[in-house]
Amino acid sequence: MKGVILAAGDGTRLAPLSFGLPKPLITVAGKPMIEYTLEAFFEAGIRELILVVGYKMEMIMSYVGDGARWGIRVDYASNPDYELGNALSVYAAKRLVGDEPFVLSMADHLISPRILRTLLASERGGDTLCVDRLAWAPPQINDATRVWVNKDGFVVRIGKRIEIWNAVDVGVFLLTPAIFVAISHLPKAGDEGCGLSDGVRWLIEKGEGVRACDVSGSFWMDVDTPEDLRYVEEILSIKEF
């Protein structure tokens, strides 16, 4: 199974650090953010990756190269419309993904390999979103995408503004090519751009649904702001990743 990592955004909320560097190359506790993601995929046994790039993509491609340093193979897809939403970055990987399911993560989410292993072990042939019912740290809950998981283990609502929710979107998915159909039906720019959450809502409402994979208790952090970065570096100074 292939992995897809979204690394196209300009990281405006991490300014001024992101003025000279693409967000995935900003260091967290001594190494670029994207290395945590690459290492997690390797340790989970996923060795073929597609990196979707956009903002300052030459710098990312120069640093990561073909992935051999991490024992993986990396191919690249470009999303020139990265400012219009991350669903378009997912769609940019369509040709390289082909007709097979794939695992999706974000370059600015530091994730434990345990999350990927749990997701792969739970695979039942459908689109799946990793959720955390115990999230509490500021980089997890500030600006979080909230979800409601029903008693049958399906995500039935998702969004940053939903008022009733019982878990948080971790930003790690197992997706089938149905997501490309969903994205093709989305307007190119909605209220918050063309977002992956919009694609998930389409699958919930018009597709085969989206299962939840509970990874509560596994380490993950979403680094969006300088405050998030300081918090995560403090945590990593006292806790093994």
Within 10 A of 136 (CB to CB), how many other CB atoms are there? 8
pLDDT recorded at residue 123: 77
| pLDDT tens column, 189-200 | 544 568 999 999
CATH number at residue 190: 3.90.550.10
Count how many domains the chain has.
Answer: 1
Residue 106, pLDDT score: 97
Say if strands 146-149 and 154-159 run parallel, antiparallel, or are unpaired.
Answer: antiparallel
| Full residue range of the structural domain in which residue 220 is found | 2-238
**103-114 per-residue burial string, b: 16 or more CB within 10 A, e: under 16:** bbbbbbbbbbbb
Reported as half-sphere exposure (CB side, CA atoms, 13 A), residue 192 has a value of 12
Walk along the chain (241 residues) in steps of 10 and give the mean pLDDT of each run: 96 84 94 96 98 97 97 97 93 97 96 97 91 96 96 97 96 98 83 82 96 97 94 87 61
